[in-house]
Structure 1
């Protein structure tokens, strides 16, 4: 278990083992790498970040992940794999599941209500982008990216 405090002052617990938290996940985050670059959405309010969001009524985590990636980036993904989970202890605690996925098809981008575009970033660009979302800069994301690097050959 990896624990840190996020930029909002909330305690966050990150686990790379399934079912470590008593709160069921209601959010998803998806890591997609294609041609050595990471898929990121450009959120109108938060900046550049990995795609993700909340489950809608009746959805599975996997369905939500596929839908959110498409809505935010116009990229179709498949081959989802569970990667991690984290629990944010705030006023309204929530749990988020992190998946990895593979690109199936890339459609022309259509602006949605939350995003104004998408971008593909190399490892270096991802670490140094000037407009990263708050959660993309925290210690948890650094830990996730370290773990991803160790497992990338499996993708």
Structure 2
């Protein structure tokens, strides 16, 4: 398990596995690499980040990961693998499930929600990006990217 403080000062615990915190994950993060590039999106307030969000009432986290990726990027993913989760112990603690998957369709003119659509960056472009959202800069995100580089689809 990796523990660290995020850039907002919250204590975060990251583990590679599933259901290890005794807290149900109702948030999702989708970390996908396709043809050598990371799938990201530009959130209008936070900046550049991986797609993700909250599961709706009655929705599984797998379905939420698929929906959020389509809504934020126009990209459809399949063969999802839940490979990590982390708990953010802030004012309202929450658990986030982390998925990777396979890109099966890219909508070039999607209807988007809260973002400016898909942004595809190489490792070098991602590391040099100056407009990343705050959580993209923490120690856990580096470990998540390393896992996808080594094990992802």
Work out whether the TM-score is over 0.5: yes
Q: State the TM-score, normalized to the length of structure 2.
A: 0.95
What residue number does 1:112 align with?
112
Match for residue 28 of structure 2? 28
* Count of aligned pairs between the two proteins: 153
Distance 1:112 1:4, change over 3 A: same
Check the 8 A contact 1:25/1:96 in 2, yes or no.
Answer: yes
> Do the aligned partners of 2:78 and 2:103 also contact (CA within 8 Å) in 1?
yes
**Superposition CA RMSD, Å:** 1.1
Counterpart CA distance in 1 for 2:44 and 2:109 is 15
Q: Does 1:52 align with 2:73?
A: no
Contact 1:76 1:104 in 2 (8 A): yes
SS across alignment from 1:25: coil
SS at match of 1:24: coil
Question: TM-score, normalising length from structure 1?
Answer: 0.94
- Give, in whole Å, the separation in 2 of the partners of 1:124 and 1:117: 20
Distance in 2 between the 1:43 and 1:151 partners? Answer: 27
Residues in 1 aligned to 2:111 and 2:133: alpha-carbon distance in whole angstroms: 18
Of the structure 1 ranges 51-60 and 105-114, higher mean CA displacement relative to structure 2 is found in: 105-114
Partners of 1:109 and 1:38 in 2: how far apart? 19
